[in-house]
Amino acid sequence: MEIRVSEDSSAAELTPIAMAFHELLGLPVTMRSLNRKGVRIERGKVIDNNYTGPILEQVLQENNTIRITPINGAYSGVPVAVAPIRDDKGYVVAAVGVVDIVGTIDLGVMFKDYPDIIDQVQECLRGRVIAP
């Protein structure tokens, strides 16, 4: 079986990818394609296989990553991070979102005894990957 993401991918086609994100992060994950509704996964299970949300739709329209606390939808009042999935020409074909725990944590307090980790996380959040 080949797994491919396109603007017409169905929820069933996106589920294995969304589940991999969910298993890796241990966080709720949502994902949809440009032309079809998608999937919402929580606690290891597909909660909705006809899902869309306001931030997923905004990312599909704007083709930019968004970190925000939505005021409506299933994750109203909860920080989320949603990113576009682009084709080789840079056009958005899908979007994937997660609950943004980074937006809810004071990293300075959490890692006060590990300043090198704070520096690495801050660099990653700025889009710079640091090699060990």
Domains, the chain, ranges and CATH?
A: 11-99 (3.30.450.40), 104-132 (no CATH)
pLDDT beyond 60 at 107: no
Sequential DSSP letters for 69-121: --SSSTTTTS-EEEEEEE-TTS-EEEEEEEE-GGGG--HHHHTTT-HHHHHHH
Residue 130, pLDDT above cutoff 60: no
User: Which pLDDT score, from 0 to 100, does residue 3 have?
Assistant: 86
How many Å apart are CA 5 and CA 121, to the nearest integer? 29
Three-class SS of residue 41?
Answer: strand
Question: Is 62:81 a contact under the CB 8 Å cutoff?
Answer: no
Least confident range from 74-78, 90-94, 100-104: namely 100-104
pLDDT value, residue 101: 75
Per-residue pLDDT tens for 13-25?
A: 999 999 999 999 9
> Quick check: helix, strand or coil at residue 6?
coil
**pLDDT digit string, tens, across residues 24-58:** 999 999 999 999 999 999 999 999 999 999 999 99
CB 49 within 8 Å of CB 11: yes
DSSP 62-79: H-S-EEE--SSSTTTTS-
d(CA 84, CA 37) in angstroms, rounded, equals 15
Q: Which of 20, 7, 23, 28 lies closest to 91, judged by CA? A: 7
